[in-house]
Structure formats: C-alpha cells, structure tokens
Amino acid sequence: MRTLPFLNILVCGIGGQGVMTAAEILAQTASDLGFDVKKTEIAGMAQRGGVVTSHVRIGPKVLSPVIAPGQADILAGFEVAEALRWSDQVRPGGLIVVNTQRLVPPVVSGGLYAYPDDPLAQLKATGTTVTAVDAAEIAATLGDRRLINSVMLGAMACALPFPPGALENKIVARFQAKRPELAVLNRQAFAAGSGVAQ
C-alpha cells in the first residue's frame, strides 16, 4: 500500500474492456475511504472498439480531474499497444500495469496507424517499471472475459494508497445482491491479478 499525498492513475484501453468501470471502482473506493477524488474519461468511439481513457486523481484535496502530461503515477493499460501509446504520460519512477492482450482498434484496421511489432518489449525498454499481466487469459480461464477489469485492479492494488481488501470488497459489492455467482468470479479474478503482481 502506497502512502502518497496524491496519486494519479491513467487507465487506457479499448471499448468493451471495462476501462470506465475500473476507473469508477477506483474512484468510489478512494472516496469511501475519505480521499478527495476527481475522475474524467474520454470514450470516443468506445462502443465500436475505439480508444478509451480515464483519469483518476486521488488525494487530500484534488482541484482538477485531468492528470498533467508526464505526471501519471500509475498507467493501467488494458490493451498493450494502447499502454505503449500512453506510456509517455508516466512520471519517472512510475508504474505501468499492462494487460498483454493485443486488440486491433479501428484506427489500425482502417489503415490510419500501424500496430507495433512488440509493444510489450517497447514498454519495458522505456525504463519504467512494468507489470505485465495476461488478464484476458486469466479471465477466460475463469470463464468470463468481462473479468479483465477485476484482474487488472488486482494487479495494481498493492500500489494504491488504501488496503487491497477495500478495493476487492467494492468490486464484489457490485454483484453480491443480484448476481452472487459473479461476485465469486470477480473475487477470484482480483486474487489472480494480485498474485501476478507480487
């Protein structure tokens, strides 16, 4: 668990991966524990598999929801090439938690951009600490690809300024009343992500 006066988390990925849900869970958990939190997102063409980003800022008093360039403490990349694209937003000494899944967004399939040959190697070459997680494979093994966001939250939990259990309980609470079977799966996904990050 980190003890910083402020924490800037940039979450990025492709529409449908649960980027905005993960950001909302982070913000709600921090708020419930007494932190001031500001959050903003850019969804673009998310519903069509486009790029999605969300800024989550946590601290004693946060004035702006937008993370200044190069000031992200944690980059949570739900898709590996998107993580590479946003990696210059991470401060020196920051952390990148990246899902190794490769998804081709419309800007690539439409021929506007080329997909990098080895985005994970390029990320590691930046000198930033990188935690690589095959969140898609873990989610598939648990039987539901929608669990990617819980895996990713588990993988970054120890870098947050509150106990990992508080984040886990917030995830589980979303499903406990109406879908208890999903609560169990999400708890397993969180634990799997936490295990990879240790």
**Distance (Å, rounded) from C-alpha 77 to C-alpha 113?**
19
Question: Does residue 50 have a pLDDT over 60?
Answer: yes
Q: What is the mean pLDDT of residues 91-108?
A: 89
The answer to the question of residue 1 being in a domain is no
Q: Is residue 105 part of a domain?
A: yes
User: Is residue 7 scored above 90 in pLDDT?
Assistant: yes
pTM of the model: 0.91
| First CA to last CA distance, the chain | 12
Average pLDDT estimate for 49-62: 89
Asked if the structure places residue 64 within a domain, the reply is yes
Q: Which domain holds residue 81?
A: 7-197
CATH number at residue 124: 3.40.920.10
Number of domains in the chain: 1
Q: Is residue 30 part of a domain?
A: yes
From residue 18, how far is each of 5, 138, 151 by CA, in Å? 27, 15, 11
Contacts 24+ apart (CB under 8 A), 159-163: 159/2, 159/73, 159/74, 159/95, 159/97, 160/1, 160/2, 160/7, 160/26, 160/30, 161/1, 161/2, 161/3, 161/4, 161/7, 161/30, 161/35, 161/58, 162/1, 162/29, 162/30, 162/33, 162/35, 163/1
pLDDT of residue 4: 55
CA–CA gap between residue 53 and residue 10 (Å, rounded): 7
Mean per-residue pLDDT over the chain, rounded: 90
Domain annotation covers residue 2: no
Look up tokens 């190069």; give the residue.
70
Residue 105 confidence (pLDDT)? 72
Q: How confident is the model at residue 165 (pLDDT cuts 50, 70, 90)?
A: very high
